[in-house]
Amino acid sequence: MDKLTPKIAIITHSLRYNYGGIMQNYALQQVLKDLGYLPITLRLRRKDSIIHGINVRVKKKIFQLLHIKYNPLTPEDIDILCCNTDLFINKYINLSPRMGSINKHWVKKQHFDGFVIGSDQVLHPSSYPDIEEVYLNFVHNDYKLMYAASFGVEDWRYNELQTKKCRVLIKKFRAVSVRENTGMQHMQHYFGIDSIVVMDPTLLLDDRKYFQFIQKRGEHLGVVTYILDPNETKKSIINTVSKVLSLSIYNANNEKMDDNNAPLCDRVTISVEKWLTAICNADFVITDSYHGTLFAIIFKKQFIAIGNKKRGLDRFITILDRLKMRGRLINDISELSQSLFEDIIDYDYVETFLSEFRRESKDFLKQNLPI
């Protein structure tokens, strides 16, 4: 792209080993490129990363001296843990230099033509050193918008001062869209502004845009699981589905990743390509992940989404209701009915709702970005 190509800065949730976060940012950048823009994602550290890094190094040294088998992760360890996902991020996503908080001087020098906040849990107050930066308190630009931004949880987490300051800042945005129905309610109730619900960026691209990352298509991996918060209930659901369908079980994530007692080399995340390939080659998908659910839909898989109250239910409900797929969401093994195995999802029918929602979501971007 030449020097006349409008530049768009994106502020989003932390990437690293968050497959959904990585793919929503990749997808949003692709859509912006298709619309004729040069997108650059500001690469920010999490709120607690600097202090946390110092504390972990101290704890790790103490545990080693006491010969305690515990292996907390230092920032250097996380770099190793994320080596596979970082390869994808660095290859396919345009990034700024790493920043603690937003480097306002660097941003000013870039002369961005517009700013997009989103998607994912970018509005969660615990994500950044100063949540007001996410509301662009340092930017004087007519083209500030939020795309599919999420507060991450259903309850209100901002304190009184954050609410007051962000209420003023958000009214300077050209347009605001959110990912969940509760987000739209929060915008009206706490900030006094209107917003619309748009689709997660991953759904803006069809499956053909993701096939380039599939390592080997056509394999049959059986029941592919992607579980963020494992427990006995979810294990029982998986085993029941496997037995009823007479399919083997394939885990699409590294089970040892969160095991602080495991050697670091055993905790390295699988690559983004391997993660996508697992879902693409599944005969059936079971997941408690929002983006795991979305990619089951993108690849037109039969699936069950297990509601994840810890991480927020409304993200599941909003999209599944919109696509008339609410019946694929369960919260307990008692809701595991025969119809979930026997009723084949009619993706031609789903596509009618998906296409309309995609058009509305892309129109939001087209109408509010600089011409």
| Full set of structural domains in the chain with CATH | 7-205+356-368 (3.40.50), 212-346 (3.40.50.2000)
Q: By the 8 A CB rule, do 217 and 281 touch?
A: yes
329 forms bridges with which residues in the sheet? 305
| Mean pLDDT value of segment 317-321 | 98
Q: Which residues contact 281 (CB under 8 A, 6 or more apart)?
A: 214, 216, 217, 218, 219, 220, 221, 224
Question: pLDDT of 323-332, one tens digit each?
Answer: 999 999 999 9
Which spans in 201-300 are helix H?
A: 232-245, 272-280, 290-298
What does pTM read for this prediction? 0.92
Question: pLDDT of 92-150, one tens digit each?
Answer: 999 999 887 788 899 999 999 999 999 989 999 988 878 999 999 999 988 999 999 99
- Burial group, residue 264, by CB count within 10 angstroms (0-12, 13-18, 19+): middle
